[in-house]
Structure 1
């Protein structure tokens, strides 16, 4: 598994302190589009492991971070660069679309 599970407690270390961009998947176990997105993110994480870190945060188990970033609908994928959320992608999408949207962070 190339994705990293993060929590309210590990978010600072895994996301804010990362030396490369981080794509954070805000998801929940009951969310069907989130479950559909999971294999897409695994594949993406494997393919771009040297350029971007992919982290998953369960919004039900980690309400602090989810509310800090006002995550209202899931799946939401937030792009963090140098500790700041710089972009957001909402909803399920095929890998090609995800890559297209995130191209500028994959250099």
Structure 2
């Protein structure tokens, strides 16, 4: 039995035929979900998707969960930013890097 190319490559066409492979469907990460559920006027699906993509590139899952809480509780972000704990300061450095990258990539 001979399989067709589509059966061999379940995620779509491959680089050998000049097309980029399709990504399998994935669920939104916690940052993207929090962004979409927020009541911020500037939030829209396209922006939230971009922010979620940047989060996947720059933050680990634990950091993403922490950052997602900021959407519903902005005071938590302020408390973290002003904390003297070394772990909070390290998180804030990573979070600022995420924010700078998101601003550059997502507008």
Q: Which has the higher contact order (CA 8 A, sep 6+)?
A: 1
| More strand by percentage | 1
TM normalised by structure 1 equals: 0.33
Q: Which has the larger radius of gyration?
A: 2
| More helix by percentage | 2
TM normalised by structure 2 equals: 0.33
